Structures are given as C-alpha cells and as structure tokens.
Structure 1
Amino acid sequence: MKQFDKVRIVQDIPEKGITKGHLGYILEVYDDNHFEVEISDRNGITLFLGALSRDFLEVVI
C-alpha cells in the first residue's frame, strides 16, 4: 500500500465509527503496517481521519 491509494475498510471498527465497506484514501504511510487514512462521505465531509493498520484495509483498484 502506498500514499494516495484508494482503500476499503474490511471490518467494522465501532470505536472509531467506521463500518466495513467505507472507502477512503491513504494520506501518509508510517511503516509497512500503519497508515493515515481519510474517509469522507459523498459530500466530501470527513467521517474519519486517523491511523489504521493494514489488517483493516484493502486496496481498491
């Protein structure tokens, strides 16, 4: 995974308000397993901005 990749959340993260299927973008790569991800709604309003591990993400082609 690399900066600006489009990603899909693969499992719910209720404590962060994220559900499986949300789409977002990697804004920063911290290391091979941790990424800063932004998830926005259809109007461009940020729903989540924070660090997630690779376990919660898959790249969307």
Structure 2
Amino acid sequence: MRNAEIVKRADKVLACWDGESKGTASTIKKAEANGKLLKVITYKPVKQIEQPPEQLELW
C-alpha cells in the first residue's frame, strides 16, 4: 500500500528496476494505470566482490 500512496501523490515517477523486483514492477504498473509521467531505468545488478582486509589497506 505504501507504493500506491507514493504513486497517488506523485506528479512524476522515476523507477530503477532490475527486471525482477515485484514491488518495483507493481509501482510501474500503478504509475501507468494512473497516467503518471514515468521514466524507468533498467539495470543488471553487479556482483559484489569482497576483498580481504589486508588489500583494503592499500586504498
């Protein structure tokens, strides 16, 4: 319900969507259904690489 209220009050909607999030997909559909000006930025998540602590000290 929170996303529905956000869309209801918005003049414009900017959504960053990974193509999988059901919540963001729902928000996009609500924005379209309510005739909101909508911009969707799609992206592919990047796998996070964790470095051992000793390598972080070089930064």
TM range (shorter): under 0.3
The structure in which a higher percent of residues are strand is 1
- TM-score, normalized by length of structure 1? 0.23
Q: TM-score, normalised by structure 2?
A: 0.23
Q: Which has the higher helix share?
A: 2
